[in-house]
Amino acid sequence: MLAIHSLFVASLAISSSYAKLAWKDTKFLFTFGDSYTTDGFNISAGVNSPVPGFKTSSNGPNWVQALGSTFNVAGTKVFNLASGGATIDAKLVTPFEPTVLSIVDQVTQFHQFLAPKPAGAQWSSNNSLFAFWIGINDVGNSFSWTNVSQSQFHTVLMNRLTTQLDQLYADGARSFLFLTVPPTDRAPLILQQGPAVVAQIKPALADYNQQLRTTAQKFQAKHRDIQTAIVFDTQPVFNTLLDNAKTFGFVNTTGFCEAYQNGTPSQTTQTLPCAPVSNYFWLNSLHPLFTVHSSLALSIATTLST
């Protein structure tokens, strides 16, 4: 696969009268989200519990792990609280199984284990970034509902997300990064359901992402001492890679190899007649490979550095 040195990045950096936290000065990164973000770390087992290898949905390092390794310029320590299948609140959108930790649960864990700033996690308000990538399952599980308008329901979701942001603010968080939902209308899971379903989810994604931007703006307006509240748009990164698949070395952007869908022994595994796993965009019906995550992490690091 060709190395990706630069991509068009669209992000919303909300202005603040306080000094913005630069990536080079970020000593702690706390991440919240779903299967696109989790790496299997379990904070309830202790602050210094090891990350269990690449227990990700990307068959290799995901965007959080790439930020914590390849693009780590400040010795940033990462605490990843994400949970595969997560929604904002399980009472609003039910996850695929009851053991999944929603954003509400993840923030509760932060409050319990990390807000006290224990040894090994002695963070401060001016050196810590709180990153959220959530909404893939919220939109994916609700876009077909007919008992409520999507826009109205997304407002309910955003109000619930805001209560969690307020909790983190009360715990001392002052710098935030929000990732928009990527173009999952281009994922095999949706494409296989036909053009009518694609046409139905696409405006739902757009509305959710716009409401996320508005939520970030309102949150910072309410708390004037917030240093950073960036909404990073993941869609241009995904769309650039998908639209220029051949240039970036992808052999398939609309499907996946069934032999790889549950992960492979290595990042270069090949099972004929499929191409090597690293040449696919999608590992399975919904999750992009580590190569996509690496490109995303590079774009995020660049945005946080400018």
**198: Cβ–Cβ under 8 A, 6 or more apart, which residues?**
185, 190, 191
Count Cα neighbours of 151 within 13 Å in the Cβ-side half-sphere. 5
What pLDDT, on a 0 to 100 scale, did the predictor assign at position 185? Answer: 98
Confidence band for 53, pLDDT divided at 50, 70 and 90: confident
Q: Which residues of 224-258 are buried (b: 16+ CB within 10 A; e: fewer)?
A: eebbbbbbbbbbbbbbbbbeeeeebbbeebeebbe
Q: Give me the sign of the Cα torsion angle 210, 233, 188, 81.
A: negative
Average pLDDT of the residues of the chain: 93
* Mean pLDDT on 116-126: 97
Alpha helices in 110-234 (DSSP H): 136-142, 150-171, 188-191, 195-222
pLDDT above 90 for 12? no
Q: Give me the sign of the Cα torsion angle 148, 152, 158, 160.
A: negative
Alpha helices in 172-194 (DSSP H): 188-191
* Mean pLDDT on 265-272: 96
Tens digit of each residue's pLDDT (9 = 90 or more) over 17-33: 356 899 999 999 999 99
Query: Which of left, alpha, beta for 285 (phi over 0: left; psi -120 to 50: alpha)?
Result: alpha
Of 130, 76, 68, give the one whose Cα is nearest residue 103.
Answer: 130
> How many other CB atoms sit within 10 Å of the CB of residue 134?
25
Q: How far apart are CA 241 and CA 235, in angstroms?
A: 10
Domain range summary for the chain, segments of one domain joined by +: 23-234+290-304
Instruction: Take residue 259 and report the two structure tokens written for it.
Output: 């032999």
Q: How far apart are CA 79 and CA 110, in angstroms?
A: 9
Rg of the chain in Å (alpha carbons):
19
**83: Cβ–Cβ under 8 A, 6 or more apart, which residues?**
34, 38, 100, 101, 102, 105, 106
Looking up tokens 């999608």 gives 282
Yes or no: domain 23-234+290-304 corresponds to CATH 3.40.50.10420: no
* 139 Cα distance to chain centroid: 14
Of 298, 13, 68, give the one whose Cα is nearest residue 178.
Answer: 13
Spatial contact of 140 and 184, defined as CB atoms under 8 Å apart: yes
Tens digit of each residue's pLDDT (9 = 90 or more) over 202-253: 999 999 999 999 999 999 999 999 999 999 999 999 999 999 999 999 999 9
Tens digit of each residue's pLDDT (9 = 90 or more) over 287-306: 999 999 999 999 999 999 98
